[in-house]
Structure 1
Amino acid sequence: MSRWSEWLTHQMQVKGIDQITLANAAGYNKSVVSNWVNGRTKVPSLEALRRTAEALQVPMGEALVAAEYITADEIGATTLPADLASVDTGELIREIGARLGYDLAISGKASPARLRAVAQWGDKSIPPPSRDDVGVAADSDE
């Protein structure tokens, strides 16, 4: 089994979907997914990879690494957990902040409003949002 087929099989299991569901969501024939899972087609095209990543709701970089177009080192990634739901929220927030160049830690938590504001200010040339920018009280996590 190729790295791509193992990753794809795992993603479908985590998402609770089958080959037909993935194929329909990505807009291609079930045989395409079957060929990947069974190793008959080793590497998807970049367009198929993009559509698959979107259908699975995973980052394109993760899919590129799984298909071995690039390495995790080339995108600056550390080992990706199989299921992000198992990763501590504070750890995710710190990683997002590090990648954006901001310190997002607010007592180990960030409010949904703060995360939405950071998404709007993803451009590092724009100063990071303050608590006042997103209406977060100094003693509140929400």
Structure 2
Amino acid sequence: MNILFVCTGNTCRSPMAEAILKARNIENINVRSAGIYAMDGGEMSRYGQMVLEKESIPFTHESAAMKESLIDWADLVLTMTASHKQSIIYAFPQAISKVYMYKEYVTPKSPYDVSDPYGGDLRTYERTFQELQTLTDELVKKLQED
């Protein structure tokens, strides 16, 4: 299964989510990330890198702009917010059946946005990391049940 995480600039939430899931080393799961307003080739935010390093989660990252080839590659697209989901469905209507907000997909009773650490301090990034870690725990359970 190919999973694509999507956020705004592909520098904070989606690359952290990608790294967290990749670190689980689940067989037959391929993971990428992209951003609705991302530019190709950018770095992950410094605080995002610091949080992953502190948690000993390996990562390599270059930001990627959302494009049709990524939508075609993905079996499942998990967005960080409702507006990301709507943007993808608007731009790529053929993907409607595989696009979900991350929280909507793993915890359907609480379909809220993943908090955005952009512009925040290290503590803010750590809270978002914990949120993504919890969501990834739930995602892994769900994938293993299917």
TM superposition score category, shorter chain reference: under 0.3
Q: Could you say which structure has the larger radius of gyration?
A: 1
Q: What TM-score does the superposition give when structure 2 sets the normalisation length? A: 0.24
* Higher-helix-fraction structure: 1
* Higher-strand-fraction structure: 2
Q: Give the structure, 1 or 2, with the largest relative contact order (CA under 8 Å, sep 6 or more).
A: 2
